[in-house]
Amino acid sequence: MGAEERLKELGLTLPMAPKPVANYVPAVRAGELLFLSGVLPMREGTLQARGKLGRELTIEQGYEAAKLATLNALANMKQELGSLDRVTRIVRVVGHVASAEGFVQHPAVMNGASDLLVAVFGEAGRHARVAVGAAELPMNAAVEIEMIVQVQPSR
Q: How far is CA 104 from CA 58, 68, 94, 99, 148, in A?
A: 12, 21, 16, 8, 25
The domain tally of the chain equals 1
Q: How far is CA 1 from CA 7, 32, 84, 149, in A?
A: 10, 22, 12, 19
Instruction: Give the residue numbers spanning the domain of 64.
Output: 3-18+25-151
When pLDDT is averaged across residues 59-76 and rounded to a whole number, the result is 98
Does residue 84 surpass a pLDDT of 80? yes
Q: In the prediction, which pLDDT does 155 show?
A: 67
Tell me how far apart the terminal alpha carbons of the chain are, to the nearest angstrom.
22
The pLDDT of residue 154 = 79
What is the average per-residue pLDDT within 38-46?
Answer: 94
Residue-level pLDDT at 6: 95
Mean of the pLDDT values across residues 66-80? 97
Mean pLDDT to the nearest integer, 51-58: 98
What pLDDT is stored for residue 21 in this prediction? 84
Note the Cα 146 to chain centre separation in Å: 6
Identify which has the larger pLDDT, 155 or 107. 107
pTM, to two decimals:
0.96
On the 0-12 / 13-18 / 19+ scale of CB atoms within 10 A, 135 is exposed
Distance CA 81, CA 152 (A): 9
Q: What's the full length of the chain, in residues?
A: 155
Residue 49 has pLDDT above 80, yes or no: yes
Domain CATH number, residue 83? 3.30.1330.40
